[in-house]
Amino acid sequence: MSTILVVLEVRDGSVRPVSHEVLGAARALADESGASVIALATETCAADAAHLGAAGADRVLVGAAERHSPDGAAATVARVAKENGASCVLLAATARGRDQQGRIAALLDTGFASDCVAIDAKGPVFTRPVFAGKALIKVQIHAGVAVASLRANHFAPAGRTAEAVIESCSSESGKSEVVEISAKSAGRPDVAEAARVISGGRGLGGPENWHLLEKVADAVPGMALGASRAVVDAGWRPHGEQVGQTGKTVSPELYFAVGISGAIQHLAGMSSSKVIVAINRDKEAPIFQHATYGVVGDALEILPALADELQKLGLQ
Amino acid sequence: MVRLFGPNPMNILVCVKRVPATTTRVAILDGKRLNPEGVEFVLNPYDEYAVEEALRRKEAAGTGKVTALSLGTADAQKELRQVLAMGADEAVLLAHAEAGFADAATTARQLEAEIRKRGPFDLLLFGKQAVDRDQHGVGPMVATKLGIPCITEVVNLDIADGKVTAEREVEGGRETVSATLPCAITCQKGLNEPRYANLKGIMAAKKKPLDTVQVDLSGAVVEVLEMAAPAPRPPGRIVGEGAAAVPELLRLLREEAKVL
Ligand SMILES: Cc1cc2nc3c(=O)[nH]c(=O)nc-3n(C[C@H](O)[C@H](O)[C@H](O)COP(=O)(O)OP(=O)(O)OC[C@H]3O[C@@H](n4cnc5c(N)ncnc54)[C@H](O)[C@@H]3O)c2cc1C
């Protein structure tokens, strides 16, 4: 029986939610092809058999590394992939996953598909955006093993009743090591992973008006803040919030573009969002051609009303 | 191959790529590739940070050499001349007519082979991604093949006495990674402000060495079966004007789109 290996992402001793989407994708692939799913955490973490079994894993391997070593972790993944004859290695397309996929592919002497939005079990064939989402390609990897990272919000977590077998495994050491992680935007999800995003542009007038966006985000559970490059370049917002071709690519269920004109480089980063709401003073702004719903007017007047109405809904 | 010369990186390699400008409207040829007709090509924006970092490191060391390496079509000489004009000392083009379509693994293999021939280098610099295939893979692949550490998507870099400390953005925070030279770094916006080539640089670049080596790109493992435009978005509509439109907007988001 072939094996699909999922690389779990661990932070502060627990498995990050985005890994559950990758496990869900692996489970779906395994069910279609009769494979089994091994989930691997290269760092020590609280792995719980019931939880990860329900999320799709048949076996869970927990490594012994106290700290993440980028090259060490890739070596551990490659070793486990070889030991178990994995046909596919899947990761989340996060900062960690993007860092690891090429290393793992190099160690396994194969290629990889980055930031996939769909997988067809026959092949398997991976669908992924290129040119920042201006086109999609379908690729097949002609080697014994394929490596792929999966974009957040595109694969459903599995929901089943099963328990996984949990085993420990050794971790390879490397020549580099993560010595510190500092969380910045405590409480709010990252713009690349959130299911709902509100982004502000130059039309907000200045950083002093960002509390208006934050109020809206506070009224919607799991809503992240994003920004256009113009406001990042102006120093109003940190680069980690930039959405677009040279920022983060996002595809949430709901994306608000407030005071953003809709330049091609911004659209490249968010045009695959399910529902786009544009708020802009200029009814000719290009963003309206891509929006599901548009409201024409002054953002500084519309945002407080939006926050008020949302608060009344008491969304959980 | 790759080895440490001294306390500060002096022999620096920077890998760059010629890519379509970010303003490109993508037209597809044969259902498989970008139609290059009418497309403006530029130096990959992230590679500009890599070039700048290389130049600053050399300037700080007061000595050393910056070599630019690219796998590209013959036209990529233009981008390499630009890098020379910014201040790099020499450039090497691994030329192939189909280079624009090479996958990350094939590209990494070619770069690795050339680096083994031209090295040793103390520091390898890459852009964090090329804005065509957006794979984020070539830097870490080359480093892995060479057996040296690599730190990706770096926004802050400190090198002292052969020790490398780099900061990278991760979801919801920043990560600090340590390694030692020789090391590969992939560069993210925020690392530095790339310089523009001045007239003096452009004149000087004409006389700097630019080697062209023909390469063989056969044996790719990643096959592109199809390239297509994303599904068009269903047409949207203007809900209304000003704050008065908010209740109707929320009704639509809840009842029609069902996203709240
Ligand atoms: C190589 C390259 C890479 C790039 N990468 C990115 C990227 O990753 N992400 C990105 O976003 N951009 C990127 N850009 C920049 C992009 O081209 C645009 O310049 C940028 O997106 C514009 O930001 P903006 O919409 O906030 O500002 P503007 O274009 O200035 O638009 C402001 C909008 O706000 C509206 N407005 C003004 N006042 C109000 C008000 N009171 N209420 C409501 N609306 C108001 C205006 O009508 C206008 O539409 C890139 C550019 C290049 C060259």
**ipTM score of the complex?**
0.94
* Residue A240 touches partner B, C-beta closer than 8 Å: yes
Which of A 53-82 lie inside 8 A of B, CB atoms? 70-71, 74
Q: What is the CA radius of gyration of chain A?
A: 21
Distance B255 CA to ligand 1 centre (A): 30
Length of chain B: 260
pLDDT of residue A184: 63
Architecture category of domain A3-168 in CATH: 3-Layer(aba) Sandwich (3.40)
Contact between B173 and A178 using a beta-carbon 8 Å cutoff? no
User: Is the pLDDT assigned to residue A278 strictly greater than 90?
Assistant: yes
* Residue from B19, B22, B46 whose mutation best tests the ligand 1 pocket (most atoms within 8 A of CB): B22
Cβ neighbours of B137 (radius 10 Å): 32
Architecture category of domain A196-313 in CATH: 3-Layer(aba) Sandwich (3.40)
User: Is the pLDDT assigned to residue B192 strictly greater than 80?
Assistant: yes
Domain extent listing, chain A:
3-168, 196-313
Q: Whose CA is nearest to atom 17 of ligand 1?
A: A263
Quickly state the pLDDT bin for B1 (edges 50, 70, 90): very low
* CB B123, CB B57: distance < 8 Å: yes
Helix axes B45-61 and B77-86, enclosed angle (nearest 10)? 40
Q: What is the pLDDT of residues A6-27, one digit of tens each?
A: 999 998 888 999 999 999 999 9
Three-state secondary structure call for residue A28 = helix
Among A110, A176, A254, select the one facing B259 at the smallest CB separation: A254
User: Is the pLDDT assigned to residue A185 strictly greater than 80?
Assistant: no
Quickly state the pLDDT bin for B218 (edges 50, 70, 90): very high
pLDDT of residue B173: 87
Distance from CA of A102 to the nearest CA of B (A): 5
Quickly state the pLDDT bin for B4 (edges 50, 70, 90): very low
Contact between B260 and A71 using a beta-carbon 8 Å cutoff? no
Architecture category of domain B11-214 in CATH: 3-Layer(aba) Sandwich (3.40)
Contact between A103 and B227 using a beta-carbon 8 Å cutoff? no
Among A129, A184, A305, select the one facing B134 at the smallest CB separation: A129
* Residue B127 touches partner A, C-beta closer than 8 Å: no
Mean predicted confidence (pLDDT) in A293-313: 98
Angle at B229 between CA B228 and CA B234, to 5 degrees: 135
Q: What is the pLDDT of residues A166-177, one digit of tens each?
A: 999 999 999 999
Chain A residues in contact with B113 (beta carbon < 8 A):
none
Distances (CA, A) of A8 to A11, A156, A168, A294, B212: 10, 16, 14, 39, 43
Distance B253 CA to ligand 1 centre (A): 25
Contact between B141 and A74 using a beta-carbon 8 Å cutoff? no
Mean predicted confidence (pLDDT) in A223-227: 97
User: Can you tell me the distance from the alpha carbon of B251 to that of B255, in angstroms, rounded to the nearest whole number?
Assistant: 6
User: Is the pLDDT assigned to residue A261 strictly greater than 60?
Assistant: yes
Distance from CA of B19 to the nearest CA of A (A): 10
Distance A268 CA to ligand 1 centre (A): 13
Distance A287 CA to ligand 1 centre (A): 10
- B128 φ, ψ to 5°? -70, -25
Length of chain A: 316
pLDDT of residue B260: 92
pLDDT of residue A43: 93
- What DSSP state is assigned to residue B74? G
Quickly state the pLDDT bin for B233 (edges 50, 70, 90): confident
- pTM of the predicted model, to two decimals? 0.94
Q: What is the pLDDT of residues B97-131, one digit of tens each?
A: 999 889 999 999 999 999 999 989 999 999 999 99
Contact between B134 and A132 using a beta-carbon 8 Å cutoff? yes
Paired tokens of B196 = 């523009």
User: Is the pLDDT assigned to residue A195 strictly greater than 70?
Assistant: yes
Q: What is the pLDDT of residues B7-48, one digit of tens each?
A: 556 899 999 999 999 999 999 999 999 999 999 999 999 999
Mean predicted confidence (pLDDT) in A32-43: 96
* CB B182, CB B3: distance < 8 Å: yes
Among A99, A133, A302, select the one facing B140 at the smallest CB separation: A99
Contact between A130 and B227 using a beta-carbon 8 Å cutoff? yes
Distances (CA, A) of B22 to A58, A116, A264, B97, B109: 43, 21, 8, 22, 27
Same fold, A3-168 and A196-313: yes
Q: Whose CA is nearest to atom 26 of ligand 1?
A: A201
Distance from CA of B203 to the nearest CA of A (A): 31
Question: Which strands sit side by side in the sheet containing A135-141, from one edge to the other?
Answer: A118-120, A125-130, A135-141, B222-228
* Residue B253 touches partner A, C-beta closer than 8 Å: yes
User: Is the pLDDT assigned to residue A204 strictly greater than 80?
Assistant: yes
Contact between B176 and A264 using a beta-carbon 8 Å cutoff? no
Distance from CA of B225 to the nearest CA of A (A): 5
**Average pLDDT value for chain A:** 95
Cβ neighbours of B117 (radius 10 Å): 10
Burial class (CB in 10 A: 0-12, 13-18, 19+), B5: middle
Q: Which residues pair with A243 in a beta bridge?
A: A248
Which ligand 1 atom sits nearest the alpha carbon of residue A260?
25
Give the least confident one: A50-59, A295-304, B3-12.
B3-12
Distance A239 CA to ligand 1 centre (A): 14
Distance from CA of B5 to the nearest CA of A (A): 18
User: Is the pLDDT assigned to residue A48 strictly greater than 70?
Assistant: yes
Contacts of B138 (CB under 8 A, 6+ apart): A102, B15, B104, B107, B108, B111, B126, B130
Contacts of B83 (CB under 8 A, 6+ apart): B14, B16, B43, B51, B68, B91
pLDDT of residue B172: 84
Q: How many CB pairs under 8 A join A and B?
A: 278
Which ligand 1 atom sits nearest the alpha carbon of residue A262?
25
Contact between B239 and A293 using a beta-carbon 8 Å cutoff? yes
User: Can you tell me the distance from the alpha carbon of B227 to that of B149, in angstroms, rounded to the nearest whole number?
Assistant: 34
Pocket of ligand 1 (CB under 6 A): A 201-203, 228-231, 242-247, 259-261, 263, 265-266, 269, 280-282, 285, 298-300; B 22, 45
Which ligand 1 atom sits nearest the alpha carbon of residue B21?
1
User: Can you tell me the distance from the alpha carbon of A299 to that of A210, in angstroms, rounded to the nearest whole number?
Assistant: 11
Distance from CA of A48 to the nearest CA of B (A): 24
Contact between A102 and B137 using a beta-carbon 8 Å cutoff? yes
Distance B251 CA to ligand 1 centre (A): 28
